[in-house]
Structure 1
Amino acid sequence: MMGAYLDFIRIRFITMLAYRVNYYSGIVIYAINIGAYYFLWKAIFGEQQELAGFTVAQMTTYVAVSWMARAFYFNNLDREIANDIRDGSVATQMTRPYSYLLVKMMQGFGEGLFRLLLFMIPGMIIVCLIFPVTLPTDPMTWMIYLVMLLFSFLINSQINILTGLFAFFVENNEGMMRMKRVMVDLFSGVVVPIAFFPGWLAEIMKWLPFQAITYLPSSVFTGRTPGSEIAGVFGLQVVWFVVLLVPIWFTWRAARKRLFVQGG
């Protein structure tokens, strides 16, 4: 059975290859975004060598890594699930001998692998040639970051799945999906590192899963997180991954009891 799920990864990866030109243009767009943030933060730092625990070099690397990591963990699983619910195709998929939600996760991972190999890695190489990005030289840091990046994908995908499932209850969750996307980009630390948030808001963010998507992995990668705290930071990602399984399970259980087909 697991082989069937692996096929969903392979099929989505091959499907994405058909549209790879679109992602080549995406590399340019992300490079422009990184450049804009680089010059913005450079102006904010001015003559100062450190702000909120960030040095100029760390901030440059943080911006580049955060945006390129987004290229890997980003997906539209929420929109795919909402579309399946609206057109009624979810009813057919639920009768098949596999887990609908696990299939969606595998499809998202296939897309993520494509983005990693043909978007994130080439984009990071280009960005490193243009901007003064400082990459870690310790292989262990790279290994830890890659594992944390995987959990970034899992947590972001869980939030997307949970958002998509709300289409069972509200029928049109377009506004919710847009709000979710803004919240993830803002509160995960892609737009502004959480260290720059007001104290009270930064404390609130510690109790939300968004920091586990971008801020925590990028802080480890840039060396802002001391080696003695890495295990705790990674453990926090694992905790959020497990915690998010609970609302997904309850929402899916409730959704299956009230499914009605609107079209199809």
Structure 2
Amino acid sequence: MPRVSAYWSVARASFRQYSTYRMATAAGVFTNSVFGLIRASILLAAIHAAGGELRGYDALQAATYVWLGQALLAPIEAFGTREISQRVHQGDVAVDLLRPTHLLGMFYAQKLGRAGFLLLARGIPPMLVGAVLTGLALPSDPLSYLVGAACLLLAITVAFLGDAMINLASFWLVETRGLSVVYMAVMNLLSGFLIPIAWFPDWLAAIARATPFPSMVQTPIDALSGRIPPIEALALLGEQTAWALVLTVAAVLMLRIGVRSLEVQGG
């Protein structure tokens, strides 16, 4: 219980910390809305050129896909983070390892607090913009929202674990920015953030579905939009859970091996 209380305190502190950046939040909402309009225009043009429907998406469904994707952009931190790698390179991780909380648990708690604020402050407002400008196709079944909320939590978790593994590579690499850029590009493509995976060529869709990336974006969007019925979405929820467990084991192993070879620069 004490550790759970500590993680809860970290999550709350992270939420409060990000709630103080009001100007940055407003700028993020504006930017997110503008890019949402650009993405929606591109997808709607593609559907119009295809005759009003493209691989199961009509104009309203495509617009909904865009705005839900924009809402997820900040909470899952699709452009990556560098805090863990910076603490490793600066030697501050030695202090983190002395704390009674697990290093990954502490950063996950920070992630949840941060994601909670970003979802409310930078995710929902662009969706409201989308609802006014393009309209949204939202499910009528309340169960879709419950399953969608679970999918959203697991999407944030899987995204955190993938990003954490890239950061943990700093135990062996002097610089991880290049690796982060490659990971970010691959994740944004294979997760379905840029375009729905249903629009991929068959070979690329097969590759994407063999990775955890769709669990970060495509799955929560399909569940929250009601494009997939709640019962079918439960199978995707199970797939997300499986990826979360696999990545948790991989991240913990990376951390343990990295700690064994840890050498703090400067002494």
TM-score by length of 2: 0.94
What is the identity, as a one-letter code, of the residue corresponding to 2:104?
L
1:118 lines up with 2:128 in the alignment:
no
1:38 and 1:30 map into 2 onto residues whose CA distance is 12
Q: Using the TM superposition, give the Cα deviation of residue 192 of structure 1 relative to its aligned residue in structure 2, in angstroms.
A: 1.2
2:170–2:176 contact (8 Å) kept in structure 1: yes
What is the identity, as a one-letter code, of the residue corresponding to 2:71?
M
2:53 and 2:113 map into 1 onto residues whose CA distance is 39
Aligned partner of 1:72 in structure 2 is 75
1:185 lines up with 2:211 in the alignment:
no
- Structure 2's unaligned 5+ residue stretches are none
Aligned partner of 1:21 in structure 2 is 23
1:13 and 1:76 map into 2 onto residues whose CA distance is 19
Q: Using the TM superposition, give the Cα deviation of residue 227 of structure 1 relative to its aligned residue in structure 2, in angstroms.
A: 4.2
Superposed CA deviations along residues 98-148 of structure 1, whole A, max 9, x for unmatched, are 111100000111110111221212232222122222222322111111110
Aligned partner of 2:209 in structure 1 is 206
2:145–2:223 contact (8 Å) kept in structure 1: no
Aligned partner of 1:52 in structure 2 is 55
The secondary structure found in structure 1 opposite 2:193 is coil
Matches within 5 A, 1:1-264: 1=2, 2-46=4-48, 48-74=51-77, 78-263=81-266
1:63 and 1:122 map into 2 onto residues whose CA distance is 14
Superposed CA deviations along residues 227-263 of structure 1, whole A, max 9, x for unmatched, are 4422211111111111111211211111011001124
What is the identity, as a one-letter code, of the residue corresponding to 1:34?
G
Superposed CA deviations along residues 19-40 of structure 1, whole A, max 9, x for unmatched, are 1220111111111111111111
1:260 and 1:77 map into 2 onto residues whose CA distance is 25
2:232 and 2:115 map into 1 onto residues whose CA distance is 28
1:184–1:210 contact (8 Å) kept in structure 2: yes
The Cα RMSD (Å) is 1.7
2:173 and 2:202 map into 1 onto residues whose CA distance is 35
- Work out the percentage of aligned pairs sharing the same amino acid: 28
- Structure 1's unaligned 5+ residue stretches are none
Q: In structure 2, do the counterparts of structure 1 residues 183 and 168 end up closer, same or farther at CA, with 3 Å as the change threshold?
A: same
1:253 and 1:94 map into 2 onto residues whose CA distance is 11
Q: Using the TM superposition, give the Cα deviation of residue 76 of structure 1 relative to its aligned residue in structure 2, in angstroms.
A: 7.5
Q: In structure 2, do the counterparts of structure 1 residues 43 and 122 end up closer, same or farther at CA, with 3 Å as the change threshold?
A: closer
The secondary structure found in structure 2 opposite 1:66 is helix
Q: In structure 2, do the counterparts of structure 1 residues 182 and 26 end up closer, same or farther at CA, with 3 Å as the change threshold?
A: same
What is the identity, as a one-letter code, of the residue corresponding to 1:168?
F
The secondary structure found in structure 1 opposite 2:37 is helix
What is the identity, as a one-letter code, of the residue corresponding to 2:160?
S
Q: How many residue pairs end up in the alignment?
A: 264
Q: Using the TM superposition, give the Cα deviation of residue 4 of structure 1 relative to its aligned residue in structure 2, in angstroms.
A: 1.1
